[in-house]
Structure 1
Amino acid sequence: MIVVLVEVTPAGEVVETSREAMTFARDLAAAGGGVPIDAVVVGHPDDALVGTLASYGARRVHALTGPAYESFSGAAWAAGLMAVRERAGAVVVTAAGTARGNEVLAHVAARSGLPMAANVVSFSSLSPFTVTRQVVGGAALEEMSLSQRPAIFTLAGHAVEATPAATAGAGELVVETPDVADADLLARVVSTEEPEPDLSGTLKSARVVVGAGRGAGSAEGFDDLLELAELLDASLGVSRVVTSLGWRPHHEQVGQTGSRISPDLYIPCGISGAIQHWAGCSSAKVILAINTDPDAPMVTKATHAVIGDLHEIIPAVNAEIRRRRG
């Protein structure tokens, strides 16, 4: 049996990367002869949420409830997830490779004394269970065998396309309140603050990302880039030099010390493409680089490239998009 930790938005919807994790788990289950899949959520899911998870193949939806689960704690969530796994006898524990997914499953692996494969993109064998995962910030791929049980791993964002199951699962809701030790609550979220309005809130899960580097020229040079991001319903990502210069906030940074992204389309504008930045964006399906330097690493590695000044090209692109939309 496979257990999937599922993350839920404040609005009570399954996050896209967790839908992908359910899809991957279903592929894995089918390869193993159709073993069941159980989802684990934190809090009280409504009927719509349970129905969504059932549509992705969940046999049961385990809801972790109680005071210990009212705010995020990696150790507490791990304790609850382990309690579900042990009762269910699951041989695989997985989650999306988000900040929370990686933290919780790292706790599970440490407590179980087992290895964990982070940011898996595919599996090639069940015996031994062999996966391919992103390493070095996504700049390389590594093959890893998880011979012990349970096999513990997280799935890299957009490694698979989230698709509902051909046949829905039963979606039986099981409300649980596993015990959590006081020590597991020493590190927990005690308050949250809404960020200032920006276009990077969904950077890691965005399907389209507009990137900006030193070529933006200044903190005032982002107006056209922000407009393009808005027109494309995209997120804005920036290079390290942009945040170091104070032009944009750090949470928008893409790279080895920022966010790793896997969009369908990445449009890096005025970004040279240093290896640290490439580590964060190399998983993009299509890269359209805009740069004045035809020999820039980003240009030579891109799927497509436009050679020119972003301050001339982007306004023209924006105008054409507006024209076509009437």
Structure 2
Amino acid sequence: MIVVLVETTPTGEAVEVSQEAITFARSLAAEGGGVPVDAVVVGEPSPDLAATLAAYGVRTVHALSGDAYASYAGAAWAAGLKGVRGSSVVVMAAGTPRGNEVMAHVAAREGVAMAANVLSFSGLSPFVVTRQVVGGGALEEMRLGDRPAVFTVAGHAVEAAPADAPGAAEVVVHTPEIAAADLVARVVSSEEPEPDLSGTLKSARVVVGAGRGAGSSEGFADLLELTELVGGSLGVSRVVTSLGWRPHHEQVGQTGSRISPDLYIPCGISGAIQHWAGCSSAKAILAINTDPDAPMVTKATYAVIGDLHEVVPAINAEIRRRRTA
């Protein structure tokens, strides 16, 4: 059996990267002869969530319920997951901050290694995975010889897709006892971020990036327009947040979000290694910069050498023209 931790949105829907993780699990299950894929969710799932998981081929939905799960606590989630995994040979999650934390706790409790940000696997005996390391700047093959194999799947490593044949998605509610020690580190309060275009930054298919070249907090109008025109999200470099031009939750990089869009458009971003760690998984990069030797330009798929305040308005105008032509 393969067990996948499924994260949900505030409205109770499965997040896209968890759907990708289930899709990855199905390919792994098929390679192993068709072993079942089960899901673990925190809180009792809505009928819509159960229907979604059924469409993705999930056999059983294990719902962790009780006061201990009223707010996020990584160790408590791991304890609950360990209690319901049974004889599963694989325990996995999406490579989100919570997914990575919970799987690290699971691996520690099981006394096994944990592989983060897995992109693919090759063979089952031995079970070898390829994963992102050094902030996505390199790939590493890792052998997971112990059972259960514990790992997370990098965002957009596979495309989320329903199963050819739906699963039963039978809901089984569990109320495991959680030790007080597992609740020492937990979320005690949360605040809604400022309204902006980056709420789906990690799952966005197109991300427009902005760096020091924006010039000031007033220099984002054209970049925000481009973001809206391409239906994407805005991401910024660390210097932008350090200067207070944009909020921290928009930061892309080693200390911010790690993104894997189909297209990343970094504007006025030099491409320091810390920022590259957050965007190197982009499938294509179109850099806009005045410096032809900037690291971001030399690593980009395509580059436009010029001032973003001249280039971006021209791109916006052309997009508008083509849409009205």
CA deviation after TM superposition for structure 1 residue 180, in Å: 0.8
Tell me which residue corresponds to 2:250: 252
Partner amino acid, structure 1, of 2:180? D
CA deviation after TM superposition for structure 1 residue 220, in Å: 1.0
CA deviation after TM superposition for structure 1 residue 201, in Å: 2.0
Gaps of 5+ in 1: none
Deviations 1:97-118 (A, max 9, x none): 0011011111111111111000
Tell me which residue corresponds to 1:183: 181
Say which SS state the counterpart of residue 264 (structure 2) adopts: strand
TM-score w.r.t. the length of structure 2 is 0.97
Q: Determine the C-alpha separation between the residues in 1 that align with 2:109 and 2:15.
A: 26
The question of 1:83 aligning with 2:70 is answered no
Correspondence list, 1:25-104, <5 A: 25-86=25-86, 89-104=87-102
Q: Determine the C-alpha separation between the residues in 2 that align with 1:323 and 1:12.
A: 40
Gaps of 5+ in 2: none
Tell me which residue corresponds to 2:224: 226
Tell me which residue corresponds to 1:153: 151
Say which SS state the counterpart of residue 260 (structure 1) adopts: coil
Query: Which of these residues, 316, 320, 323, is aligned with residue 321 of structure 2?
Result: 323
Q: Determine the C-alpha separation between the residues in 2 that align with 1:24 and 1:271.
A: 33
Correspondence list, 1:168-317, <5 A: 168-317=166-315
Q: Determine the C-alpha separation between the residues in 2 that align with 1:78 and 1:127.
A: 26
Deviations 1:202-221 (A, max 9, x none): 21111111001111111111
CA deviation after TM superposition for structure 1 residue 9, in Å: 0.5
TM-score w.r.t. the length of structure 1 is 0.97
Question: What is the number of equivalent residue pairs in this alignment?
Answer: 324
CA deviation after TM superposition for structure 1 residue 320, in Å: 2.2
CA deviation after TM superposition for structure 1 residue 250, in Å: 2.0
Partner amino acid, structure 1, of 2:222? D
The question of 1:3 aligning with 2:23 is answered no
Deviations 1:116-160 (A, max 9, x none): 000101101211100011111111111100000000000010011
Say which SS state the counterpart of residue 303 (structure 2) adopts: strand
Identity %: 79
Q: Determine the C-alpha separation between the residues in 2 that align with 1:103 and 1:202.
A: 20
Deviation larger for 98-107 or 274-283: 274-283
Q: Determine the C-alpha separation between the residues in 2 that align with 1:197 and 1:278.
A: 26
Tell me which residue corresponds to 1:126: 124
Runs of 4+ in 1 over 4 A off after TM superposition: none
Q: Determine the C-alpha separation between the residues in 1 that align with 2:315 and 2:71.
A: 44
RMSD between aligned residues: 1.1
Partner amino acid, structure 1, of 2:83? A
